[in-house]
Structure 1
Amino acid sequence: MAIVLGENRYGKAEVRLVRVSRDGETHTLADLNVSVALSGDLAATHLTGDNAGVLPTDTMKNTVYAFAKEPGVGEPEEFALLLARHFVETHTQIRAARVGIESFGWERLGPHSFRRQGDHTRTAEVTVTVEQTQVVSGVSGLTLLNATDSEFHGYAQDRYTTLPETTDRILATAVDARWRHLRDDTDWAKSFPAAVEALTGAFVDTYSYSLQQTLYAMGSRVLTELPEVAEIRLALPNKHHYLVDLSPFELSNHNEVFIAGDRPYGLIEGTVTRDDVPPAITEWYP
């Protein structure tokens, strides 16, 4: 039996970067967490310790900071594309570069004052090979709640089922969504907020009989409203809310007082896609 080296990559993870653009009296702020991973002709370093083809991960970190100065950060997808293309184009032993970015939002309070936005995190992941480019945008931690218009009943049951059926419940989730683009020249500044608006609007507008149904409605809304998106993958944790028994205090509870559950929680995952899109060039699920 032969032993061989399988797929491999290496890189610098979670390079924290804050870029202040001082254009006159009004400043802009970019707050990023950047991760870089490279793959290619790197067998020698694994098999013999020959590092001739290994670009140090410290160099990757320095490149992130240098690019932040010039040409600058811009939109997360744009910055990731610049970095990934640089590594593939300047190092012949590198066949593919993957750059992942978390972008933390700040709300402007004045010309140079900001307040951190905490409701969600914008993400971008770019993969550049010598032949192709793939851009995946995303959002994590987008917490949504419908206080009604959600039911759950008619499900399969066995001897271990204790969950009561309901025709009126709280439906809450923290959306983790990733969507793959058909092109790498999208208007990123417009596309991301449009996708978040589509996800949120579908959640609000859907009378839900299951979180799976809501997931499909959210994914379908994004594909309908954003023709530049090939497919979207969603992971929706079901943030359970349990009705509190107030009968010991001789009080009624008509879906008014709940315990917000932490764990365990249901996790609903699914992909909504067009039936005629080209395949992904590399795995892009988180």
Structure 2
Amino acid sequence: MGIKLGANHYGKAETRVVAVRRHPDRHEIKDLNVSVALSGDMDDAHLSGDNSKVLPTDTQKNTVFVFARKYGIGEIEEFAIILAKHFVDSQPSVHHARVAIEEYAWDRIALPSNGIAHSFARSGTAPVRTAVVHYDGTKAHVVSGIKDLIVLNSTDSEFWGFLTDELTTLKETNDRILSTVVTAGWRHADTTADPHRADWGASFREASRYLLAAFADTHSYSLQQTLYAMGTRVLDHRPELCEVQLELPNKHHFVVDLTPFGLDNANEVFIVADRPYGLMHGSVLRDDAPDAGPAWS
């Protein structure tokens, strides 16, 4: 029985880069975590230790810093496409690049005495903005998204009519807290490799807004139903997008039994269960969505 090398890639993970744009009256900050993965004609590095077709991961790290200075950092999707195109188009042995970026938000704090707005506090409320770009020399698959978005509905959530067996102890309810930590990605339909082809910022803001609106508006009979409603709402209002994927853990809130203390508890006091937890994952897409290729990998 023979042995062969399977699919492989390599790269520099989690390059932390902070870029400051200095205006006369204010500074703007971009705080990113950039991960690069490359694949292509590099089998010899595995099979014989020949590194002649391997671009060092240290070079990939340096490229992130140099491009942050050379091109600036605007929208993270744009920056990811520029990086991915560079690695593929400049190196004959690199046939595919995946660039994943996380962006961390900072809030401005009080204007300092010198009159230049240069003070920030790391946001404690904003979710992490994400972008993943795959580029193969021709097409660019772009998935924008968010993670660590904590949301909660204190009512308008039910869960009943589920399967039961001899091991079922969960009680049906028609009024519960529904809380989750949203990880979401939305795939752009356009696969051209022009980094300036779209208003990435407006698309991100609006997609995020419709996700939240659907969570708030939906009278939920299950977290799965809420997931579908959130994805549908985004696609209904954002024609540039063709697919939404969501991962929603169910952050269980259980009513505390206060009867040993002579008290009732009409859905007012809860204990939050850390683990285990339910975990829902689903995709919502248009009937005519183009092939996803490697977009979600």
What range describes the TM-score normalised by the shorter chain of this pair? over 0.9
Aligned partner (choices 148, 154, 161) of residue 155 of structure 2: 148
What is aligned with 1:87?
A: 87
Q: Which amino acid aligns with 1:227?
A: P
What is aligned with 2:254?
A: 242
Whether contact under 8 Å (1:237, 1:267) holds in the other structure is yes
Q: Which amino acid aligns with 1:118?
A: G
What is aligned with 1:157?
A: 164
Q: In the TM superposition, what whole-angstrom CA distance separates every residue of 1:245-284 from its partner, at most 9, and x where no partner exists?
A: 1111111100000001110000011000001111012151
Structure 2 segments unaligned to the other structure (5+ residues): 112-116
Q: In the TM superposition, what whole-angstrom CA distance separates every residue of 1:53-105 from its partner, at most 9, and x where no partner exists?
A: 00000000000000111111111101101100000110011000000000001
State yes or no: 1:167 paired with 2:174: yes
**Aligned with 1:118: secondary structure?**
coil
What is aligned with 2:293?
A: 281
Whether contact under 8 Å (2:88, 2:94) holds in the other structure is yes
Q: In the TM superposition, what whole-angstrom CA distance separates every residue of 1:165-193 from its partner, at most 9, and x where no partner exists?
A: 00000000000001110125221110111
- Using the TM superposition, give the Cα deviation of residue 25 of structure 1 relative to its aligned residue in structure 2, in angstroms: 2.3
**Aligned with 1:124: secondary structure?**
strand
State yes or no: 1:112 paired with 2:124: no
Q: In the TM superposition, what whole-angstrom CA distance separates every residue of 1:93-135 from its partner, at most 9, and x where no partner exists?
A: 1000000000001112241111211331000011110221111
**Aligned with 1:88: secondary structure?**
helix
State yes or no: 1:54 paired with 2:54: yes
Whether contact under 8 Å (1:11, 1:60) holds in the other structure is yes
State yes or no: 1:254 paired with 2:266: yes
State yes or no: 1:216 paired with 2:228: yes
Aligned partner (choices 183, 189, 193) of residue 176 of structure 1: 183
CA distance in 2, matches of 1:18, 1:69: 11
CA distance in 1, matches of 2:24, 2:56: 37
% identical aligned pairs: 56
Moved over 3 A (4+): none
Q: Which amino acid aligns with 1:92?
A: P
CA distance in 2, matches of 1:108, 1:52: 47
Q: Which amino acid aligns with 2:135?
A: V
CA distance in 1, matches of 2:134, 2:72: 20
CA distance in 2, matches of 1:4, 1:283: 26
CA distance in 2, matches of 1:240, 1:6: 41
CA distance in 2, matches of 1:230, 1:21: 33
Give 1:195-210 correspondences, 5 Å limit: 195-210=207-222
What is aligned with 2:63?
A: 63
Q: Which amino acid aligns with 1:130?
A: G
CA distance in 1, matches of 2:3, 2:34: 34
CA distance in 2, matches of 1:57, 1:258: 49
CA distance in 1, matches of 2:286, 2:215: 20
- Residues 191, 283 of structure 1: alpha-carbon distance in 2 compared, 3 angstrom cutoff: closer
- Using the TM superposition, give the Cα deviation of residue 10 of structure 1 relative to its aligned residue in structure 2, in angstroms: 0.1
Aligned length: 285
**Aligned with 2:14: secondary structure?**
strand
**Aligned with 1:142: secondary structure?**
strand
Superposed CA RMSD: 0.9
CA distance in 1, matches of 2:276, 2:172: 19
CA distance in 2, matches of 1:249, 1:277: 57
